[in-house]
Chain A
Amino acid sequence: MSILAVLEQRAGAWNRMSFETLAAAQQLARELSTQASAAVLGQGIGALAAELSSKQLDKVYAVEHELLKDYTPDAYTAALRQLVEQVRPSIVLFPHTYQVRDFLPKLATALDRVAVSDVVSHHVDHGQAVLVRQLFQGKVNVAIRFAGEAPHFASLQAGAYRADRMEEGAAAVETFTPRIAAGDIRTRPLDLFRESQRAVDLGAADIIVSVGRGIKEADNIPVVQKLAEVLGAELAASRPICDAGWLPMERQVGSSGQTVAPKMYLAVGISGAIQHLVGMKGSRTVVAINKDANAPIFEVADYGIVGDLFQVVPELVEAIRKAKG
């Protein structure tokens, strides 16, 4: 029995979620009285692997191949399948990144397993890991146990585990060279690009007023705009609002938009789907206004009003005006 953390890098730079996964693997290994190892894939990743040699790990696997230089699901799946079959870990953990979402289900299926994706926490019961993930956009939790023979697979939600809990130590680095042929790779990835320079840096704002589906239609945006104005805040939105074109994409907060941690984040008519929460849960003070008392946004809110935003927000604007004198 052992735990393997598969970490993510792009062009020699770590994805910061990798260290959350590494810390989680160390924690799970302690709880299950076993060892944790880590793997990183790519070409020319010696320096990254060496960095991991100072962590408390059994082994560090540097999975090197020229066909792993640019990510493709075919090459990553082939390489990881071979690594897993050689190392024989009982549990393999991944950060729940877009890249992992792209290849982990393929890898698990190739080995006749189901990966438990987007895990938010775990506990150990009778020497077995029980994983918790969310259903119905965060409204319901489900506890899941692995069944049958190892290996088992899981990916961990951003922020679910803390990278600063990572333990230092010493680990031997081992290079693993998978067998991959160019003909096995069916997709051709081209260069990465951004659409345009971002004109709005939400990351610099002290206060953000953010609006979600509860606003109902584009014509209602001025309701929250007034609130942003009176607070001197930047106006932001959850994804559906930007998808609909009611606010520009550059004002989107969440996994596909910007990640923010202002002094105050005021969520208006936002239910708080996971994809939104990962973009704002680091905010110092979170205020939620929502008509549904069970909306997951209240899970992260310090202050809240359960009510109709069209009645509450104008009163709030008035009260803030008075308070500011």
Chain B
Amino acid sequence: MKIVVAIKQVPARDSQLRIASSGKWIDDADLAYEINEPDAYALEAGLQLKEQNGGEVVALCAGPSRAAQTIREALAKGADRAIHIEEEGAGSRDPLAVARLLAAALRSESPDLVLTGLQSDDLGYGQTGVILAELLGLPHATIIMQVEKAGGGIRVKRELEDGWFQHVEMPLPALLTIQSGISKLRYATLMGIKKAKTKEIKRLTAAELGVTDSAASITLERVYLPERTKHTQLFEGSPKEAAAQLVEKLKFEARVI
């Protein structure tokens, strides 16, 4: 089974974010980056499927040159090779523009299965996977908890709201977006890190892929820190003092204890 896992590099989860002076994006000067967590689970699912069924796992990433670090980590965890679509500013592109790049890179690959995380921790559109499926003409299923081979195709477990699930059968090739937390993430081994250095990373640009910017159907007007709509009473001082003030309010104002 040839599996492509689309991964994204995003600012580290605990980053302190500031708005760029343009007001159009965040100030990314001093940020640390990491793999988008849902994509780490998609990669894990891909590696496990390969272990069960044989085949190949290809990591696919659109991002600036710094994304190479995230790609190397995917290779160290066990991806066989990688495709890096090297583009500055890919982070703030709309999901259709990003999916067009990914789709163009995949046309010559003809994978059996394309996996990606259900959403990104930065933009959070939760759309790139489904858009990619549509561009490639593949059937898809989203928020997947489990994947197993069934006949010539696969049987997947979809998460629905409020604790409901559903099994769906589908043919291959197909695209799945993977839910976070479906299995434990592996760490890269020392051997894996060593091997990663010899693995192939194919670097491509949008121009090489023949993807030109087409007219966007949405425009980003401005990004800003949300204004507090609710007045939160914050208690300061030492932990002991803050705790005492909070309990006072909970007892006499909110009357919940």
Contacts and interface: CB of A to CB of B under 8 A. Distances in A.
Interface of A: 73-74, 97-99, 101-106, 108-110, 112-118, 130, 133-148, 152, 186-195, 198, 207, 231, 239-240, 242-244, 255-259, 263-264, 274, 284-285, 287-288, 292, 294, 296, 298-308, 311-312, 315-316, 318-320, 322-324
A314 to B, nearest CB: 8
Interface residues of B, number: 79
B32 interface: no
Contact of A303 (B124, B126, B233): B233
B226 A304 contact: no
Contacts of A242: 181
A104 B129 CA distance: 12
If over half of A's interface residues share one DSSP class (helix, strand or loop), that class is named, otherwise mixed; here it is mixed
B26 interface: yes
B169 A190 contact: yes
A201 to B, nearest CB: 12
Contacts of A198: 163
Nearest to A72: B168
Nearest to A109: B134
A255 B124 CA distance: 15
Interface string B1-33: 000000000010111110100000010000000
Interface in B50-81: none
Contact of A117 (B11, B127, B246, B251): B127
Interface string B142-174: 110000000000000001111111111111000
Interface string B112-123: 000000000111
A258 to B, nearest CB: 8
Interface in B91-132: 94-96, 99, 121-127, 130-131
B190 interface: no
Contact of B166 (A190, A264, A311): A190
Interface string B200-231: 00000000000000011111111111101110
Nearest to A252: B163
Nearest to A241: B181
Nearest to B254: A285
A285 B256 contact: yes
Given A147-B216, A231-B257, A189 B166 contact: yes
Contacts of A308: 239
Nearest to B16: A294
B187 interface: no
Contact of B168 (A105, A190, A243, A288): A190
Interface string B233-247: 111100110111011
B140 A73 contact: yes
Given A142-B223, A288-B232, A305-B246, 16 more contacts: A73-B139, A98-B159, A106-B133, A117-B126, A118-B124, A136-B17, A144-B221, A146-B218, A187-B170, A188-B168, A274-B124, A294-B17, A304-B234, A312-B242, A315-B242, A323-B257
